[in-house]
A = this chain, B = another copy of it.
Amino acid sequence: MSLKLFELVGTDPARPFSPFCWRTRMALAHKGLSAESIPWRFTEKQAIAPHGSEKVPVLLDRDKPVVDSWAIANYLEDTYPDRPSLFGGEGGRAMARMLNWWGDLAIVGGIFPLIIADIPKNLAAVDAKYFRRTREARFGKPLEEIMASRDTGVVAFRKSLDVLRFTLKAQPWLGGAQPNYADYIVFGGFQWARVVSPFRLLETDDPVYAWRERLLDAFDGMARTSPGFAV
């Protein structure tokens, strides 16, 4: 096998930060696969256009492109069925579809306003300009203004994690006795924040914090040793 993964980075090519790319990184590790990382920046649209995408992650399995983190997870599950399962069966695959939306809306969507003005600090000028222009258009205000209320916003964000928190009181991982793609979906968002922002999302006595710590340690500390802030 020969796998390559386009991953979003900023000024440091060894510091991938996209929450969606981190889902894929963890999924690859879960399957015991390694992929050559191809650093990709926001304004490098032409590098992935030939593969049919405007966004990352894009996985190349030899010459075959697979686009979008959810599609990649399904591709890995179907292509490498003899390796540890990402979904734990077809019921898990179906339910992970909904958890993937929850990860997008509640986790990535919930964290974004809390770290948004920190992100350009990690980017080269051309990418920072692109990021600011597109995101300010989406939110309808300056990044700094979006983030100004984060000290109160984080309280609501923490409360929104009850679904996750209560689950983790009943079982060690979202995937059950062992982590699986359900865990990586949610973890991707936390790792994104950890890489780009010093802002503290979680209290240390939160079961979600302990779960995140365990995922930082997974796969020989792959996520923890990737450059980031100690939050």
A positions within 8 Å CB-CB of B: 85, 87-99, 101-102, 105-106, 162-164, 166-167, 170-171, 173-177, 180, 182
| Contact of A89 (CB < 8 Å), options: B89, B164, B166 | B89
Once the chains are docked, how many angstroms separate the CA of A174 from the CA of B90? 11
- Specify which chain B residues have a CB less than 8 angstroms from the CB of A99 in the assembled complex: 95, 98-99
- Specify which chain B residues have a CB less than 8 angstroms from the CB of A177 in the assembled complex: 94
A97:B170 contact, CB within 8 angstroms: yes
B182:A98 contact, CB within 8 angstroms: yes
Give the shortest distance, in Å, between A84 (CB) and chain B (any CB): 11
Q: Could you give 29 example pairs across A and B, Cβ below 8 Å?
A: A88-B89, A88-B90, A88-B91, A88-B92, A89-B89, A89-B90, A89-B91, A90-B176, A91-B95, A91-B175, A91-B182, A92-B94, A93-B176, A94-B173, A94-B177, A94-B180, A94-B182, A95-B96, A95-B99, A95-B174, A95-B175, A97-B167, A97-B170, A98-B99, A98-B164, A101-B162, A101-B166, A101-B167, A105-B162
Give the shortest distance, in Å, between A48 (CB) and chain B (any CB): 23
- Specify which chain B residues have a CB less than 8 angstroms from the CB of A102 in the assembled complex: 102, 163
| Contact of A163 (CB < 8 Å), options: B92, B106, B167 | B106
